[in-house]
Amino acid sequence: MLNPDKNSNKKIIKFIDLFCGIGGFRLGALNAFKNNDIEGECVFSCDIDEFARKSYYANFGELPEKDIKDISASIIPNHNLLLAGFPCQPFSIIGNGKGFEDTRGTLFFEIARILQEKAPEAFILENVKRLRGHNGGKTLNTILRTLKNLGYYVDFKVLNALDFGLPQKRERIFIVGSKQPHLFIWPEPEIQSLSLDQILEDVVDKKFYASKNIQSKRHQKHKAVHRPSIWHENKSGNISSYPYSCALRAGASYNYLLVNGERRLTPREMLRLQGFPDSFKIVCSDGQTRKQAGNAVPVPMIEQLVSSLLNILFLNKKRKSGQK
């Protein structure tokens, strides 16, 4: 199943990138493959957002397909690994005890039908932390049951970007599955390797600064302990600040996060907070890039998850064949 490269001793993993956004999953996976001396090839990608597709094309030279609901699973190329950060819309019909049928009408079903048709060896799925407790845990249980009924050994865990070297508190649930029985080894937390000083730009356009009135109100409410810091205003209007950012959010208010209580993050800073390299091309407006960064997955987190999964895909195969 894992494809040998005829011109070298390398193995080739073919993967697909569903709900791909601007390519955080793809970047992380390619980094993991490179670090493990494995060849990786993305054979299919899709996203319904036209601006995300534009950014993806600018950086990977491939224009993702549009709505996955309009694409038959049979025409998707065969692949070893499925990657998907599926949107978390209301799971209104989940919890009726009908397994695979319970997922119909949700975007998770689009993943399930592809897994059923193509049966890749493994997958990594990502969603918001609150999926874990949605509907008293019934939603997640239905998803896990569906995946197990499709023949996968499944595990899940909530991970935080702060534990993967990024100065952003971003908790997300990851679901990992493999056709092979496995004890998945989740990546261990690491010391934060990037500080806000390294994320923030030295020169910032005046357009990113909040009005004097907003700055004054922020400073009347809060005194920061750290500098630099990211000031966070919650829905109740309470202000807090940390030497890292709270989670970037695609639909947050314009002044949700302010650097030192004064200015908004620039598009480049937001991409850095998600682990995107400065070589990543910004081709959309500030507003669209802000949305894209808020919807993205942290690249270093994906890199480590894929590296852990490679141990299952390759090392287990070596043990079965008697290789050392």
Residue type, 317: K
- Asked if residue 305 belongs to a domain, the reply is yes
Do the beta carbons of residue 296 and residue 270 sit within 8 Å? Answer: no
- Asked if residue 69 belongs to a domain, the reply is yes
Same domain, 250 and 223: yes
69 vs 77: CA distance, rounded Å:
16
Q: Enter the tokens of residue 33.
A: 């493959």
266 vs 204: CA distance, rounded Å:
8
Question: Given 20, 42, 88, 246, which residue is catalytic?
Answer: 88
Q: Enter the tokens of residue 13.
A: 């993993």
163 vs 154: CA distance, rounded Å:
22
Same domain, 210 and 184: no
205 vs 265: CA distance, rounded Å:
11
With H, G, I as helix, E, B as strand and everything else as coil, classify residue 254.
coil
- Asked if residue 154 belongs to a domain, the reply is yes
Same domain, 239 and 140: no
The 10 Å Cβ neighbour count of residue 260 is 18
Three-state secondary structure along 181-215? CCCCCCCCCCCCCCCHHHHCCCCCCHHHECCHHHH
Q: In what order do the strands lie in the sheet with 257-259?
A: 239-242, 230-233, 257-259
Torsion angles phi and psi, residue 232, rounded to 5? -120, 125
**Residue 44 pLDDT:** 98
Q: Enter the tokens of residue 266.
A: 């620039």
Express each pLDDT in 73-103 by its tens digit. 999 999 999 999 988 655 545 556 666 666 6
Same domain, 153 and 261: no
Domain total in the chain:
2
Same domain, 151 and 187: yes
- Asked if residue 285 belongs to a domain, the reply is no
**Residue 95 pLDDT:** 57
Express each pLDDT in 133-184 by its tens digit. 888 888 899 999 999 999 999 999 999 999 999 999 999 999 999 998 888 8
Same domain, 150 and 223: no
**Residue 315 pLDDT:** 57
Torsion angles phi and psi, residue 130, rounded to 5? -70, -10
Same domain, 21 and 82: yes
Same domain, 81 and 184: yes
Percent of the chain with pLDDT over 90: 73
Same domain, 217 and 188: no
**Residue 319 pLDDT:** 41
58: containing domain: 3-192+294-321
The separation between CA 37 and the C-alpha centre of its own chain, rounded to angstroms, equals 23
Same domain, 97 and 46: yes
Q: Enter the tokens of residue 28.
A: 């992380």
Same domain, 169 and 215: no
- State the CATH number of the domain containing residue 50: 3.40.50.150
Q: Enter the tokens of residue 9.
A: 């001793």
- Asked if residue 251 belongs to a domain, the reply is yes
Report the candidate in 123, 155, 133, 168 with the shortest Cα–Cα distance to residue 297: 168
Tell me, yes or no, if 246 is annotated catalytic.
no
Q: Enter the tokens of residue 125.
A: 């799925």
Same domain, 188 and 317: yes
One digit per residue, the tens of pLDDT, for the chain of length 324 reads 455 555 556 678 999 999 999 999 999 999 999 999 999 999 999 999 999 999 999 999 999 999 999 999 999 999 999 999 988 655 545 556 666 666 666 889 999 999 999 999 999 999 988 888 888 888 899 999 999 999 999 999 999 999 999 999 999 999 999 998 888 899 988 876 789 999 999 999 999 999 999 999 999 999 999 999 999 998 888 999 999 999 999 888 889 999 999 999 999 999 999 999 999 999 999 999 999 999 999 999 999 999 999 987 765 554 444 433
Q: What is the pTM of this model?
A: 0.91
- Asked if residue 94 belongs to a domain, the reply is yes
- Asked if residue 11 belongs to a domain, the reply is yes
- Asked if residue 272 belongs to a domain, the reply is no
